[in-house]
Chains A and B, each alone.
Chain A
């Protein structure tokens, strides 16, 4: 069959399919026959190539097949309760199956943090080796017991302002900590160390300066979600780096892609945890009206909740 006969025979069919595909997904009338028509089109493209029809026709059919392919394979699996299942099982399972990386990230964050906390606690000038005098003064002002809100400078804004700030800043840190992992894990390690050092230094310094009774009740509540989520983001980033350093027999690019698929699961969870943390930090932790012991007991309960959740949630239906 020559090209013109071939085109004449199928042209109308192609035009119909083209028209159907051009409609937006919602306006498209249901067509149970679509998979069959798609296979027919694939066959026509294969024929056109095999018979060496002109490149214009082949390109046209190829474009049509691509669009149909997109629609056919774009059908979404309906996900009942996928989110709930993810939160109750998928996320903690992903953490546990990457336990070594989570512990490594924890160490990268906690060890230098504790070291700096002790150093700054013992030596009141130590803090100036990691931050400027202005920054130190502003931290001291944030936890002045005379404030009606802790963790922010006087007049920094309302609880809602601070909520927005925590979302933008903390989740941004989490995302960067993850992304840095693709540089052989070095970026993630850097952010973990850096944040550990900064937080440890501030904690040690404020403790030494006699502001422990405002600082620790402030951080304990949201810290349960925030500090852990930063560590988890670091672990997700280290997963990317680990795949590049030791691809375990796969091509590095292949290993990276598989690692990213798993790491992103951890990132969904870290994201949710940081949103929760921002709520607690803006509306609960900052309040000076709440008594210290209440903040400690609620904060302690939240830590317990997070730890139990990470260790045990979803163990029963682990595949």
Chain B
């Protein structure tokens, strides 16, 4: 048997010291670019407001403005990543977070590395370098992420637990294998996410075995699904 490559996926799986696999959804270039745009806007607003305030103060005001604009340019993301759980305001807006590759929180060292290297990721213009690196790397990492050992993940804390569909529990007509059971349970739990037509189409695959079609087949499968998860 040949060793096969892991399937191409946007999941990062990490084995925790507790002996379990943790999974995180990696964020691709589009949400990250959007989050960056929000941060950029915010930074521009701050720097603009600061310019208005410091302009009348003269020399000292200009010096202060230059120091703050330096801090914003290099340390804005570092500040939020280290003190706000890996989330700049832009990342927070899009439910993203920076974490270490082992999914532990980023510390100052890693955050500084990934943010100082923005200077190179930005090259030749508009983060083309970073985009290329993200496309070529296994975990959507730009150069700064590669050097710091960090990844950007989706952090959706509360995924609503879908209620089960309303269908009388039904004992399966024949013993089912684990994979079959799982397929039927998933089908049942996703009843709110699939269009009725698609559900009927899927349920009809089994028509040869069950002899029912369309809506009847759907509600029959839902019943079996309800029974399988434990409804009686």
Contacts and interface: CB of A to CB of B under 8 A. Distances in A.
Interface string A21-41: 000000000000000001100
Interface of B: 16, 18-24, 58-60, 62-67, 69-70, 73-74, 85, 99, 103-105, 109, 112-113, 116-120, 143, 146-149, 155-159, 161-162, 178, 181-182, 185-186, 189, 228-231
Interface in A122-142: none
Interface in A232-282: 240, 253, 256-257, 259-261, 263-264, 267
B117 A161 contact: no
Contact of A179 (B60, B119, B156, B186): B119
A163 B63 contact: yes
Contact of B156 (A63, A70, A240): A63
Interface stretch (A54-62, A214-222, A304-312): A54-62
Contact of A176 (B18, B24, B119): B119
Nearest to A2: B230
Contacts, number: 148
Contact of A253 (B99, B146, B178): B146
A183 B59 contact: no
Contacts of A179: 116-120
Contacts of A253: 146
Given A5-B230, A63-B156, A168 B148 contact: no
Contact of A168 (B70, B119, B229): B70
A175 interface: yes
B59 A63 contact: no
A30 B178 CA distance: 42
B113 A54 contact: no
Contacts of A162: 63
A54 B149 CA distance: 32
A163 B66 CA distance: 9
A154 interface: no
Given A66-B24, A180-B120, A257-B148, 11 more contacts: A4-B230, A45-B20, A46-B19, A56-B162, A60-B161, A66-B155, A161-B66, A163-B67, A172-B74, A256-B146, A264-B109
